[in-house]
Amino acid sequence: MSASPAPLPAVVLVRPQEEGNVGAVARAMANMGLARLLLVEPAARLGDTARAFAMHAHDILDGAERHPDLASALAPFEVVVGTTSLREREWPQPVLAPRELAGWLARAAPGAPVALLFGPEVSGLAAHELARATALVSIPAAPAQPTLNLAQAVLILAYELYVARGAPGAIATTPVARASVRQVERLFADLEQLLAATRFARDTTILKVSRDLRQMLARAAVTEREATILSGILRRTRHALARSAPTAGRRGPG
């Protein structure tokens, strides 16, 4: 029995400001065979300008999903590919060129639902948003003009994935039971609760520690079973601490 092809990636736009850019993104997606578009609020309203830029891709605009926050938008996906200009900053996740992305997905996340994550036009994705990414893609450009228009960035990644789908066996492979973003978020919440129960979160340094831990979980790409086991360990540890707390500090007779 032949393996089923991986589901097509979805495009997630975080706080897009210009409706024309959203329309141009929809057209780029249609050009490269992608159909699912998610918008994270606050996102531009989509009117006549968006439709004008989305020539022959109005169905993608009409079907665009709006989400109140990034967590809800990413919940259905197992792999999140963030886009960043890097700007000489080091990241713990794998950092790929656009042409490397399809091969990396085939090796590291076969069959997994993938979200391609793009930030707002002016600022790009914030550090805490990039921390949710399993891998990062940086598009090389001339130093004098290192940032791309939103639709250009989407088109480049969508093109590379489109070309890879045309090569026999490039992405089609056996799916694995990789943990969804929702499961990883639940695991992270269990970890935060244990840190609080052990008084590890004593001061403001916990904010950076939490971000580092979230990055670690994102790039670890744990399976569903691994996420379930780890969450169970964290919860049982927290419950054991709670049960032992009343007896702590008691003195014996004497």
Where do the structural domains in the chain lie, given as residue ranges? 10-166, 181-247
Q: How confident is the model at residue 59 (pLDDT cuts 50, 70, 90)?
A: very high
Taking a C-beta distance cutoff of 8 angstroms, is the pair 21, 64 a contact? no
Q: How confident is the model at residue 81 (pLDDT cuts 50, 70, 90)?
A: very high
Q: Is the pLDDT of residue 169 over 70?
A: no
Taking a C-beta distance cutoff of 8 angstroms, is the pair 131, 91 a contact? no
Q: Is the pLDDT of residue 217 over 80?
A: yes
Quick count: other Cβ atoms within 10 Å of Cβ 126?
Answer: 13
Can you read off the two tokens belonging to residue 127? Answer: 């550090």
Q: What is the fold of 181-247?
A: Helicase, Ruva Protein; domain 3 (1.10.8)
Q: Is the pLDDT of residue 165 over 90?
A: no
Q: Is the pLDDT of residue 222 over 50?
A: yes
User: Per mean pLDDT, which range of 48-52, 60-64, 90-94, 114-118 is the poorest?
Assistant: 90-94
The residue among 51, 53, 11, 17 whose CA lies nearest residue 29 is: 11
**The predicted structure's pLDDT at residue 175:** 54
Q: Is the pLDDT of residue 96 over 50?
A: yes
Extended strands (E) in the chain: 10-14, 37-40, 65-67, 79-83, 95-96, 114-118, 135-137
Report CA-CA distances (Å) from 92 to 115, 133, 142: 19, 10, 25
pTM of the predicted model, to two decimals? 0.72
Q: Per-residue pLDDT tens for 13-26?
A: 999 999 999 999 99
- Residue 178 is classified by DSSP as B
Distance CA 101, CA 95 (A): 9
| Helix, coil or strand: residue 39 | strand
Q: Per-residue pLDDT tens for 226-244?
A: 889 999 999 999 898 888 8
Q: Which CATH number fits domain 10-166: 3.30.750.200, 3.40.1280.10, 3.30.420.40, 3.40.30.10?
A: 3.40.1280.10
Report CA-CA distances (Å) from 81 to 1, 12, 118, 158, 216: 30, 10, 9, 12, 15
The residue among 77, 90, 85, 4 whose CA lies nearest residue 38 is: 77
> How many residues would you count in the chain?
254
